[in-house]
Amino acid sequence: MIKHSFLLFAVVLLFISACKPSVSVTTLTGKWKYVKVEHPNASPPDTMKKADLDEVAPYIQFTPEMKFLIVWGGKFLAHGTFTLNGGNMNMTEKLEDGKTRSYVFTVSELTENKIIFETIGVDGSKVTALRASKF
């Protein structure tokens, strides 16, 4: 009976872990254009209008050296380094005063040409981006 319970637990755990996308530097490397930005935890939840998004043309870029750059409205919004932990990207942003700020992007979908990642909390956002180029 214990063997069967353990086997069932192992199968369920394998199934759950198989649902998370595999995040690798190779898959991430390149420029990703934001096509949808949502704020699901806002009160009320909102989604940025396509016209507004087109106007500021945001994107995120990942390098093979595990660095990132976020551009919004033609200006550098954030830059720094990242590490990978399963379906999470641990971001360390370099701030202007020389300090750093850390946060996590949770990847819920990652294919060759599409990524969906989000941050949690009241100010959290969910971003859908399409690959604009590879390095």
Q: Where are the domains of the chain?
A: 21-133
d(CA 129, CA 30): 12
Closest residue by Cα to residue 71 from 84, 86, 60, 82: 60
* Fold held by 21-133: Lipocalin (2.40.128)
**8-52 confidence digits (pLDDT tens):** 444 443 444 445 567 999 999 999 999 999 998 888 888 999 999
Confidence of residue 1 (pLDDT cuts 50, 70, 90): low
- Count of CA atoms in the C-beta half-sphere (13 A) of 19: 6
* Predicted TM-score (pTM) of this structure: 0.81
Confidence of residue 123 (pLDDT cuts 50, 70, 90): confident
Average pLDDT for 91-117: 95
**43-90 confidence digits (pLDDT tens):** 888 899 999 999 999 999 999 999 999 999 999 999 999 999 999 999
Query: In this model, does residue 94 exceed pLDDT 50?
Result: yes
Query: In this model, does residue 5 exceed pLDDT 80?
Result: no
What pLDDT was estimated at residue 57?
Answer: 97
What pLDDT was estimated at residue 42?
Answer: 83
What pLDDT was estimated at residue 54?
Answer: 94
Angle, vertex CA 42, rays to CA 41 and CA 48, nearest 5: 105
Q: Tokens 């999470």 label which residue? A: 88
User: 125: buried, middle or exposed (CB in 10 Å: 19+, 13-18, 0-12)?
Assistant: middle
Q: Is-contact 47 17, C-beta < 8 A?
A: no
